[in-house]
Amino acid sequence: MPHHIVITKPLNRRVGTLTRCNVDWVRTERSHTRLDRVFARLDREPERPAHVGMPRMSRHRIVLLGATLAFYAAIVWAVVVTSWLVRLDWQVMFFRPYQQWPELHAFVDYYVVLGQRGPTAVMVAAWLGWRSWRQHTLRPLLALGVSLLLLNVTVGAAKYGMGRLGPHYATEIGSNEMWLGGDIFPSGHTANAVVTWGILAYLASTPRARRWLSALSAVTSLGVGLSTVYIGTHWLSDVLLGWAAGLLILLALPWFEPLIARAEARILAVRDRLGDRRGTKAPVPAPADGPVMVRPLTERPAGTAHEPVPAGRAARSPVYLAPGPHTSRAERSPVTPAGSRRPQHTDRHPRGTTPAPRP
């Protein structure tokens, strides 16, 4: 527990005399760890930060998108015509990296999970869901959903369209193994690693965080791609095309920002309408026409059951009450209070009267 020390007079030390003019409070507490500082920084993150800008399709991004698209087409053409890239694929396959460094096999089996669709999507969605709740916006989750949808459509169509077989199912040495019913070109693990971890850099709040997360996602996706080559489930050209496919999705994502904004507005509008339907409004009492005058007991018409006014009590003057529903005493509940266990006595008579004889 932190405590305080009050210093009210000079402190004599070897280096000299230290005089305190005012009362100083010196707090001693445990030093914060790096994890404590990280959580403290997250707690200070403002809701709906105004400085977060959406990435736009700038000229630099368009040039990079065009270069990546040209690289994508060049890889596909090099594999289709069975060029030097296909020969390099066969050389790497015959090298058998998993036999050259068998001590890495256990680590690579776990590391390649960072490129699988299910585990990575759950981890990233949990983080982006916390950010959405913190900033009161659905943009992080919607951006993740749009990127994964684009990944499934583009990479899935390329896989089944070109139908390339993997190294373990190759039929002819030196061939490109295209249009034989396979589904490994491009590498889905590599493309998924680029998109799933790259979306964190795309949604970063500051330029510094975007740079660090971009480098981290690049290293992670590079390691995932090389891990698949090490295990032997993909050709080297599959990994190259997977990197290009994932990068194309991240570069083209700003074109879908208006769609994400409209989807968020519609979802929030539906939520507001459902909230209005479920909400119950308090009943508003009907306004009274005017003040209600209560007559004194002595002026009430005969035949109304009420207590007679004693002789010593003076009659009251008319009383004007505030607007609202009012009832006279004769119209109120009986003498026995509500909730009482005492039964109602209908044979009671007011004081000073003679009860009727019983039959």
Per-residue pLDDT tens digits for 24-45: 444 445 567 776 766 666 555 5
DSSP class of residue 23?
Answer: -
Q: Residue 354 — very low, low, confident or very high, per pLDDT cuts 50/70/90?
A: low
Structure tokens at 211: 């740079």
Alpha-carbon gap, residue 114 to 280, rounded angstroms: 48
pLDDT at 202: 92
Q: Is the pLDDT of residue 318 over 70?
A: no
Amino acid type, 44: R
Q: Is the pLDDT of residue 48 over 90?
A: no
Q: Is the pLDDT of residue 244 over 90?
A: yes
Q: Is the pLDDT of residue 227 over 90?
A: yes
CA angle 19, 23, 26 (to 5 degrees): 95
Is 355 within 8 Å of 349 (Cβ atoms)?
yes
> pLDDT tens digits for 133-180?
888 889 999 999 999 999 999 999 999 999 999 998 888 888 999 999
β-bridge mates for residue 16, sequence order: 13
pLDDT at 95: 92
CB burial of residue 275 (10 Å; 0-12, 13-18, 19+): exposed
CA angle 111, 113, 116 (to 5 degrees): 145
Alpha-carbon gap, residue 119 to 353, rounded angstroms: 90
Does the pTM surpass 0.75? The reply is no
pLDDT at 324: 46
Structure tokens at 168: 């373990």
Is 155 within 8 Å of 191 (Cβ atoms)?
yes
Structure tokens at 158: 């390329």
Half-sphere exposure in the Cβ direction for 338 (13 Å, CA): 2
Beta-carbon contacts of residue 257 (< 8 Å; ≥ 6 apart): 54, 55
Find the range with the poorest average confidence among 87-101, 109-123, 183-197, 287-301.
287-301
> pLDDT tens digits for 262-279?
999 999 898 888 888 876
Alpha-carbon gap, residue 357 to 283, rounded angstroms: 51
